């Protein structure tokens, strides 16, 4: 058997795909015994941030095992017993924390002081009491594994008090504790927190990569897999969810119809949409940002259809709408509309006032008139 960190083999069985650079970096750091005590994983919702965080938890808790011939060690994040417990949410040393995570004991008073809902109502923020719970657990030795791993999912929802409290743990890490922050962007977090973490930025995955994985992992028909991959926006988690739950595609179709209604609506209708979307932002930030990324796709598809590249349209179910919008708008107007959406996303990620940012976006939309045929949703 092996005895030193230098003999740790490369890991196999990663659930993360399409992010080869991030996987290679973590694998190499693990083999060299140089993993950071804190990571910040950023990227769009469902792009694979949480999957990579769970893979990291498996990586630091799995023991290499001899191969079938008892010679070379193997580190398999799929068959490792610890990894299997981690992926099922059963491992005592792995905690995933978000705004809805129950607090230990009665913390109602503390929640109120931290600007949160009182006991019995849903929380919107990761509170200072969540971090206090984390710190108490981090002070203990691992119970069943080699290391304790705390994954703060939706780290941008930490209250200011929570972020400040977390700094102490980030500054004085224990050797057997890892903290992984998952957020949309680094800009949504205090610089004092970001500077104490090693950053991993995940980008959208190519449609073909997602399609290949849907075929191999979930036995999806190649044509269906590619269609889902294209409309996933480069987010493997969305594509996998769409395979497993038909409601995901239905929600996608509803979002597309809302976008179409806003594009074709008058200013009052657009402001109603902005008001509804801003109200949803406080309940589900990621869902609203995801819908805005759909807006970007919409204008991209309009430009592609206008250029005559119809086979490259992502949301092919609405080709008639893209054609009609493209006939009414110039390339410059389409580009300006897309730029306005990009600016709105950046503003919201930087904690701008949602309703104001969205209303400005509605004012920037060019006027468009659509026929009933174009307005009729044909699904995904």
Q: Average of pLDDT values for 99-110? A: 69
Domains of the chain are 5-201 (3.40.50.300), 245-375 (no CATH)
Check the CA dihedral 163-169-172-173 and report its sign.
negative
Q: Average of pLDDT values for 111-128? A: 58
Does position 108 have pLDDT exceeding 60, yes or no?
no
pLDDT of residue 113: 44
Confidence at 310, pLDDT banded by 50, 70, 90: confident
Confidence at 126, pLDDT banded by 50, 70, 90: very high
> What is the per-residue pLDDT across 185-232, written as a single tens digit (0 to 9) for each?
898 899 999 999 999 999 999 999 999 999 999 999 999 999 999 888
Identify which of 19, 23, 39 has the alpha carbon closest to the alpha carbon of residue 149.
Answer: 39
> What one-character-per-residue DSSP string does 350-369 give?
TT--HHHHHHHHHHHSPP--
Does position 116 have pLDDT exceeding 80, yes or no?
no
Residue 144: CB atoms within 10 Å: 12
Q: Average of pLDDT values for 367-379? A: 77
Q: Is the pLDDT higher at 362 or at 313?
A: 362
What is the distance between the alpha carbons of residues 356 and 286, in angstroms, rounded to a whole number?
18
Q: Average of pLDDT values for 162-171? A: 93
Does position 184 have pLDDT exceeding 70, yes or no?
yes
Confidence at 73, pLDDT banded by 50, 70, 90: confident
Confidence at 245, pLDDT banded by 50, 70, 90: very high
pLDDT of residue 150: 98
Residue 374: CB atoms within 10 Å: 19
pLDDT of residue 67: 67
Confidence at 7, pLDDT banded by 50, 70, 90: confident
38-42 and 11-12 beta bridge pairing: unpaired
pLDDT of residue 105: 65
Q: Average of pLDDT values for 329-354? A: 93
Does position 298 have pLDDT exceeding 70, yes or no?
yes
Does position 107 have pLDDT exceeding 50, yes or no?
no
Total length of the chain? 380
Q: Average of pLDDT values for 342-358? A: 92
What is the distance between the alpha carbons of residues 126 and 241, in angstroms, rounded to a whole number?
25
Mean pLDDT, the chain, rounded, equals: 89
Q: Within the chain, where are the H helices?
A: 20-31, 49-61, 81-87, 108-113, 128-138, 160-171, 191-194, 207-218, 222-231, 236-244, 246-264, 267-283, 285-306, 319-328, 331-349, 354-364, 372-375
**Cβ proximity of 177 and 143 under 8 Å:** no
Measuring CA to CA, how many Å separate 341 from each of 122, 269, 352, 359? 30, 18, 14, 11
- Segment among 54-58, 102-106, 159-163, 177-181 with least mean pLDDT: 102-106
Distance of CA 36 to the CA centre of its chain: 21
Identify which of 345, 317, 51 has the alpha carbon closest to the alpha carbon of residue 188.
Answer: 345
Q: What is the CA radius of gyration of the chain?
A: 23
Q: Average of pLDDT values for 162-175? A: 90
- Segment among 71-80, 96-105, 349-358 with least mean pLDDT: 71-80
What is the distance between the alpha carbons of residues 255 and 261, in angstroms, rounded to a whole number?
10
Confidence at 329, pLDDT banded by 50, 70, 90: very high
Sheet holding 11-12, edge to edge: 11-12, 73-76, 65-66
73-76 and 65-66 beta bridge pairing: antiparallel
Q: Average of pLDDT values for 119-126? A: 61
Does position 118 have pLDDT exceeding 60, yes or no?
no
Q: Average of pLDDT values for 4-8? A: 57
What is the distance between the alpha carbons of residues 9 and 1, in angstroms, rounded to a whole number?
12
Identify which of 212, 205, 215, 208 has the alpha carbon closest to the alpha carbon of residue 236.
Answer: 205
148-153 and 94-97 beta bridge pairing: parallel
> What is the per-residue pLDDT across 135-159, written as a single tens digit (0 to 9) for each?
999 999 999 999 999 999 999 999 9
> What is the per-residue pLDDT across 48-71, written as a single tens digit (0 to 9) for each?
999 999 999 999 999 888 766 656
Residue 130: CB atoms within 10 Å: 30
């Amino acid at each position: 058997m092996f005895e030193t960190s230098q003999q740790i083999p490369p890991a196999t069985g990663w659930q993360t795909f399409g992010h080869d650079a991030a996987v290679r970096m973590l694998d190499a750091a693990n083999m060299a015994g140089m993993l950071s005590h804190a990571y910040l994983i950023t990227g769009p919702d469902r792009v694979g941030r949480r999957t990579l965080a769970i893979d990291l938890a498996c990586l630091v808790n799995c023991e290499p095992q001899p191969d079938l011939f008892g010679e070379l060690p193997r580190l398999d994040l799929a068959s490792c017993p610890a990894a299997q417990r981690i992926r099922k949410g059963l491992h005592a040393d792995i905690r995933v924390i978000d705004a809805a995570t129950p607090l230990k004991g009665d913390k109602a008073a503390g929640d109120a002081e931290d600007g949160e809902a009182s006991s019995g109502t849903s929380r919107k923020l990761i509170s200072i009491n969540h971090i206090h719970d984390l710190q108490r657990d981090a002070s203990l030795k691992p119970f069943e594994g080699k290391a304790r791993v705390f994954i703060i999912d939706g780290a941008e929802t930490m209250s200011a008090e929570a972020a400040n409290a977390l700094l102490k743990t980030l500054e004085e890490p224990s050797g057997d504790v890892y903290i992984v922050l998952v957020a949309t962007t680094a800009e949504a977090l205090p610089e004092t927190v970001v500077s104490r973490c090693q950053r991993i930025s995940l980008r959208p995955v190519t449609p073909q990569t997602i399609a290949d994985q849907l075929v191999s992992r979930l036995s999806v028909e190649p044509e269906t897999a590619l269609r889902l991959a294209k409309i996933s926006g480069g987010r493997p988690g969305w594509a996998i969810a769409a395979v497993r739950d038909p409601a995901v595609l239905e929600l996608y179709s509803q979002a597309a119809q809302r976008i179409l209604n806003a594009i074709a609506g008058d200013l009052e209708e657009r402001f109603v949409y902005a008001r509804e979307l801003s109200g949803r932002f406080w309940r589900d930030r990621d869902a609203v940002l995801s819908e805005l990324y759909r807006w970007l796709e919409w204008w991209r598809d309009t430009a592609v259809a206008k250029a005559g590249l119809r086979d490259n349209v992502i949301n092919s179910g609405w080709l008639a709408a893209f054609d009609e919008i493209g006939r009414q708008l110039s390339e410059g107007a389409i580009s300006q509309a897309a730029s306005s959406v990009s600016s709105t996303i950046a503003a919201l990620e930087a904690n701008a006032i949602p309703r104001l940012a969205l209303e400005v976006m509605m004012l920037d939309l060019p006027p468009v008139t659509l026929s009933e045929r174009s307005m009729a949703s044909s699904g995904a």
